[in-house]
Amino acid sequence: MKWLLRKCTRCGAYTLRRDACPRCGGPVKVPHPPRFSPEDKYLKYRYMMKKLAGEIPEDC
């Protein structure tokens, strides 16, 4: 998925421009980097499976 919206790091304005903020000319970046990568999800799932299988104690 490609996220088009950027946020200015200087004034906080949202923009679709990728190079610079149209308002103040400051640098822009993607406002919300993904918190969990697919790998993390997979690890969490594997952990859950292990827990269900009884390999990890409940109070771990």
Q: Tell me which residue of 11, 48, 14 sits closest to 31, measured CA to CA.
A: 14
Site residues for Zn ion, 3-22, by CB under 5 A, read 8, 10-11, 13, 21
Of the pair 17, 41, the CB lying nearest Zn ion is at 17
Q: Which residues contact 26 (CB under 8 A, 6 or more apart)?
A: 8, 9, 10, 11, 20
Task: Tell me the two tokens of residue 32.
Answer: 């919300």
Question: Taking CB under 5 A as the rule, does residue 28 contact Zn ion?
Answer: no
Selected binder of Zn ion within 17, 23, 29, 44 (CB under 5 A):
23
Residues binding Zn ion (CB under 5 A) = 8, 10-11, 13, 21, 23-24, 26
